[in-house]
Structure 1
Amino acid sequence: MVRDAPLAVNGGAAVRDRGRSWPSWPVAAPGASSALEAVLRSGSWAISSPYRGELQERRFAKAFAAYTGTRHCVPTDHGSSALVIAMESLGLDYGDPVLVPALTWTASASAVFRAGLVPVLADVDPATGCLAAEAVAAETDIAAVIAVHWACNMADVPAIAKAADGVHVIEDAAQAHGGRWEGRPAGSLGTMGCFSMQHSKVLTCGEGGAIVTDDPERAGLLEELRADSRRYRDSLVEGELPLTESATTLGANFCLDEFGASLLVAQLEILDEQHTVRNANYELLTRLLAPVTGVKLLTRSPSQDKLSLYEVPLVFEGFPEGIDKSWAATALTAELGVRVYTPRPPLARSRLLEPWRKSTLAPLAEQFVKRHADRAYPGADHLAAHAVLLHHSVFLGGEEDMADIAAAAAKVARHLEEGATR
């Protein structure tokens, strides 16, 4: 059997024929080139350009609000910027604690620092990879919660909001564009939803972000926070700047440019089509891996009725002495001919979250260190130690591709079960 054959990393035959390629990423939408060309010739390259007709930023804001089932969308230059101004819009006091899951990209926590607040790291459920309501209920003094939808799973935001007991819950939906929880789109479940449109995301313009909300007053405040204290005029006049200096708060410049906005308008048109392909392949892989011992996928709540794959973790039961997740990722990469990689360490051990290295954060860093002196994260540590990740682009392939992934996972799991790396 293939799974009993010598590993490719040790010179054996690989599961996948090297002549077969994997889907590339990103995939440009059919209308992407013409959309970018139109902006190039429009004379309006930013929302601070003199008004010459409907801005692409406004077109995307309307389309993405509709896509997420919300009333308002405020685009930004990055997903991390979206998180920063979402935190700022809450009106919290300097140094207030904000709960953040320990297993996520650093921006979920560093944005809290940038807003003058202190991230408090909480463990995640090792079965789902997401913050659970129980972890929220265990905190007594938090001022807000950032609920991250991780990898391919959504956090139970309704349960988290109930446990938070009136505290604002912000969805970090950077990895969940198009996901749904009991029929409600990711981003529409909390006070606000924050998205990233960075290069690797399922909806991308290279670098970009957005916040969605149902609150019109908050939407106006968010516009000011991302456009140097300016928001859109009630009526736009040809040749005049579309922004007015409303200045109800102090903002910064986190605006999305017109090129990025036009690309997002085009890419949004093919997003659900891509979801259909990816999700069907994920369900197939789920069936193929069901009989395989030693490796599994994350557990998904039945309430999550639509997937949005960003990364797909393959979780191994254990490793013999001298072998770890990095070895498994290398072995799978050799079998498949596509990059399989490891999760980043939990934020409590991340070199990317060391606020004491920035002098202006000293008071917040001191609180952060003190607060986390005795905290443990067994769920996050387990996933970080036992999972390897596949990028969503591989799920744009077909049934044969899923069969290769399942065969490679079974082959590696078999060698791990035997405690050998032959």
Structure 2
Amino acid sequence: MSALPHAARSPGRLAIAGGAPVRSPDRPWPTWPQPAPGAAAALAAVLDSGRWAISSPRCGGELYERRFARLFSQYLDVAHCVPVDHGSSALVIALESLGLSHGDVVLVPALTWVATASAVLRAGLVPVLTDVSPETGCIEADGLDLDVDPGAVIVVHWSAVMADVPAITAAVDSRGIVVIEDAAQAHGAQWLGRHAGTIGRLGCFSMQNGKVLTCGEGGAVVTDDEHLAGVLEELRADSRRYRSDEARPGELDLVETATVQGANFCLDEFSAALLCAQLGMLDAQHDIRNRNYARLGELLADVPGVRLLCPLPQQNRISVYEAPIVFDDLPEGRSNRDLADALTAELGVRFYPPREPLDRSHLLRPSTKPALASLAQRFHELHRGRHFPHAERMAGHAVLTHHSTFLGDEEDMVDIAAAVAKVVAANEGGW
């Protein structure tokens, strides 16, 4: 027996064409971001503390930046966490910490946000795009082009699915190639009990406004490598590390160790305080989202040719960032952008297609920066004749919605499934 309402199986005219929507406009969706109960108090504490940055003179107690680093390390069960101002900065200093030579190659997925590739260029390296798995949207070991002699691989956990980092590591480890996890979309996801971001040599996170753990703008690099952790501290704080002794009043908590030239990518105290508060409710939000994601998958089983992107069996916990609904067979004459617009009209919450693969992205144009001329030339040379059919198919057949859509209840999932069924079943006259 179908779990969907009868109206979804016998649809009328679509809302985008003037018909009645599946969901009444007076039923709001959950909003994002959602401040944690202690967020306002934490921000007020910073305001009154006299310390708004880690480079401020010592007064009072522990910096919130240090507190967040400790809490996030404990949450992930990893030895070291170095907070930064953005997820892009996390990628830059992670790459710089490896000591690669100017112009070395780094493999990155063709299906991801542009920062994964542009960070490689910012670090003085050359990104080489890699096609993704048609099942997960993530890169996989068999698809790596090792003939370009990469120094590192950036593995992106995409939307709600983790890549098989152990298999990728096994494929490259003997050649000295370092695996970096871009876990910007995967806070709290787990692979056989290990957290995303802690399986490779380094893990990078974003805490941008839309992420499941957010402070507006922020990021972090995590690692179990004590040497790299110290280098990362210098790279993000103008060649300074945290001192090993306790600073006296008026002194800085940072000392000029200067083993490597750094820059200023420090996380401010307001953002760090907000993250300390937000982290406390992350798992409760995961429980709601993951329960609703599973329920939507059950409901969509009644809709031919439509499925949620499913993780591999080793992924024992998902972290929904953008929930991907895959339309294996698009309606005649319709694109996934058409479907996204139709779903938005039916439900009153935004649905949208993935970004185009990076080889077609107007955001990835290193030749527009004269200082990147030599890297840009090599980038274009290395991509002549390369094609990314799986990334193209995923970009052309998936429809995404933000994770906040999954912070509601089962009735919301019924609405989504009903809208999907209605859009798929609509004939030409229904549009």
1:392 partnered with 2:399 = no
Contact 1:187–1:193 (8 Å) recurs in 2 = yes
- CA offset at residue 323 of structure 1? 2.0
Q: From 87, 97, 106, give the equivalent of 2:95.
A: 87
- 2:227 is aligned to 217
Q: From 319, 327, 347, give the equivalent of 2:338.
A: 327
Deviations 1:162-187 (A, max 9, x none): 11133100000000000000000111
- 2:33 is aligned to 26
- Give unpaired runs (5+ residues) of structure 2: 1-5
Counterpart Cα distance in 2 of 1:196 and 1:380 = 23
Is the partner of 1:28 in helix, strand or coil?
Answer: coil
Structure 2: which amino acid aligns with 1:82?
A: A
TM-score, with structure 1 as normaliser: 0.98
- 2:297 is aligned to 286
Deviations 1:351-375 (A, max 9, x none): 0000000000000000000000111
- 2:56 is aligned to 49
Counterpart Cα distance in 1 of 2:104 and 2:282 = 37
1:150 partnered with 2:163 = no
Counterpart Cα distance in 2 of 1:406 and 1:79 = 33
Q: From 2, 9, 32, give the equivalent of 2:7.
A: 2
- CA offset at residue 318 of structure 1? 3.0
Counterpart Cα distance in 1 of 2:166 and 2:302 = 33
* Identity between Structure 1 and Structure 2 (%): 61
Contact 1:137–1:164 (8 Å) recurs in 2 = no
Contact 1:133–1:160 (8 Å) recurs in 2 = yes
- CA offset at residue 299 of structure 1? 2.7
TM-score, with structure 2 as normaliser: 0.96
Contact 1:51–1:236 (8 Å) recurs in 2 = no
Counterpart Cα distance in 2 of 1:310 and 1:420 = 34
- Give unpaired runs (5+ residues) of structure 1: none
Q: Would you say how many aligned residue pairs link Structure 1 and Structure 2? A: 420
Contact 1:152–1:311 (8 Å) recurs in 2 = yes
Q: From 13, 20, 28, give the equivalent of 1:13.
A: 20
Alignment of 1:401-412 (within 5 A): 401-412=412-423
Contact 1:78–1:197 (8 Å) recurs in 2 = yes
Q: From 65, 79, 93, give the equivalent of 1:71.
A: 79
- CA offset at residue 137 of structure 1? 5.9
Counterpart Cα distance in 2 of 1:421 and 1:340 = 19
Counterpart Cα distance in 1 of 2:258 and 2:100 = 19
Q: From 102, 114, 129, give the equivalent of 1:106.
A: 114
- 1:343 is aligned to 354
Deviations 1:9-34 (A, max 9, x none): 11111111111000000000000000
Structure 2: which amino acid aligns with 1:40?
A: L
Which portions of structure 1, spanning 4 or more consecutive aligned residues, are displaced by more than 6 angstroms?
A: none
Contact 1:294–1:414 (8 Å) recurs in 2 = no
Alignment of 1:360-371 (within 5 A): 360-371=371-382
Counterpart Cα distance in 2 of 1:150 and 1:42 = 39
Structure 2: which amino acid aligns with 1:323?
A: R
Counterpart Cα distance in 2 of 1:16 and 1:50 = 54
Deviations 1:218-258 (A, max 9, x none): 11100000000011111122220111011000100000000
Contact 1:136–1:164 (8 Å) recurs in 2 = no
- 1:38 is aligned to 45
- 1:193 is aligned to 203
Counterpart Cα distance in 2 of 1:227 and 1:138 = 34
Counterpart Cα distance in 1 of 2:331 and 2:309 = 22
Contact 2:352–2:401 (8 Å) recurs in 1 = yes
Structure 2: which amino acid aligns with 1:236?
A: E
Counterpart Cα distance in 2 of 1:51 and 1:283 = 48
